[in-house]
Amino acid sequence: MRQPSTQTTRATLGYVAPFAAFVVSMAIERFIPLPGQWLYPVRFCIVLTLILGFSRPYLNFRASHALPSIALGLAVFVIWIGPDVVFGYRDSWLFNNSITGKAASSLPPHLKQNIGFMALRCVSSFALIPILEELFWRGWMMRWLIDKEFLKVPLGSYLPSAFWIVAALFASEHGPYWEVGLIAGIAYNWWIIRTRNLADCILAHAVTNAALSAYVLYTGHWQYWL
């Protein structure tokens, strides 16, 4: 079996480690309830440290299609909240079951009144999560599914199986919002193919999350923050 090169191993760490740390911290939170007021800062610092320490060489923040990326991000936001606003079907068994979970916020009431915590939660949503998710899904996995030596695969390379596997896994990551998560995954996958620039996907994703954060704070629809 062909062994990955040292360069590939190092790059894999840069693309995967922040996402893996984020997922592990969420699993710990699920099975071992810990105070959110210090768990979030610890998670934020760990993920940020990994991005700065391992991911920075693989990051480019120069969007080549900034305005269309912003427009795409806003469109995904509208798609995300649209079904609930127009149809209100989130209580259906398709989105409320033992597999997907329920669209309900896990934030305790006192943290919703904590300005410092809410500021950190917003910054994490629109600044940190888009970076770690785009690094993992479209920076690494879409290429790794094409060739295990993924650095040989240019960003935005298209293989139908890689495209749809990543879209499906991205959808599953979003629990009771899996159907809009699938649409978002398709949109972001299409955008990396179109732009071949991870910075454009990060920007689009950041705009989506920033708009959703503003919507949550303005309307009090905390269920969007699972």
CB 89 within 8 A of CB 83: yes
Residue with tokens 């704070």: 217
Q: Could you list the beta-strand ranges (E) of 93-134.
A: none
DSSP 52: I
Residue 54 lies in a domain: yes
- What is the Cα–Cα distance from 208 to 78, expressed in whole angstroms? 9
Per-residue CA distances from 64 to 67, 70, 129, 132, 193 (Å)? 9, 12, 21, 20, 13
Residue 164 lies in a domain: yes
Question: Given a cut of 70, is residue 189 above it in pLDDT?
Answer: yes
Question: Given a cut of 70, is residue 122 above it in pLDDT?
Answer: yes
pLDDT per position as a tens digit, 80-89:
999 999 998 8
Residue 213 lies in a domain: yes
Q: Across residues 63-75, what is the average pLDDT?
A: 98
CB 73 within 8 A of CB 195: no
Task: Give the pLDDT band (50/70/90) at residue 36.
Answer: low
**Residue 45 structural domain:** 6-224
Question: Given a cut of 90, is residue 29 above it in pLDDT?
Answer: no
Round the CA-based radius of gyration of the chain to a whole number and report it: 17
Non-local CB neighbours of 223 within 8 Å, separated by 6+ positions: 90, 103, 104, 105
Q: How many CA atoms lie within 13 A of 188 on its CB side?
A: 36
Question: Given a cut of 90, is residue 35 above it in pLDDT?
Answer: no
Count of the separate structural domains present in the chain: 1
pLDDT per position as a tens digit, 151-179:
999 999 999 999 999 999 999 999 999 99
133 vs 88, higher pLDDT: 133
- pLDDT of res. 5: 77
Nearest to residue 39, comparing CAs of 50, 29, 31?
29
Q: Across residues 40-51, what is the average pLDDT?
A: 93
- pLDDT of res. 136: 98
Q: Across residues 180-202, what is the average pLDDT?
A: 98
- In degrees rounded to 5, what are phi and psi of residue 101? 85, -165
Residue 193 lies in a domain: yes
pLDDT cut 70: percent of the chain above it: 97
Task: Give the pLDDT band (50/70/90) at residue 31.
Answer: confident
CB 96 within 8 A of CB 90: yes
Nearest to residue 186, comparing CAs of 142, 140, 121, 124?
142
DSSP 3-state of 25 = helix
- Helix, strand, coil percentages (3-state) for the chain, rounded to 5, are 75, 0, 25
- What is the Cα–Cα distance from 188 to 182, expressed in whole angstroms? 10
pLDDT per position as a tens digit, 99-114:
999 998 888 888 899 9
DSSP 3-state of 212 = helix
Question: Given a cut of 80, is residue 4 above it in pLDDT?
Answer: no
Q: Which two tokens stand for residue 171?
A: 């959808």
Residue 203 lies in a domain: yes
Question: Given a cut of 60, is residue 1 above it in pLDDT?
Answer: no
CB 51 within 8 A of CB 131: yes
Residue 1 lies in a domain: no
Residue 75 lies in a domain: yes
- pLDDT of res. 39: 83
**Mean pLDDT for all residues in the chain:** 93
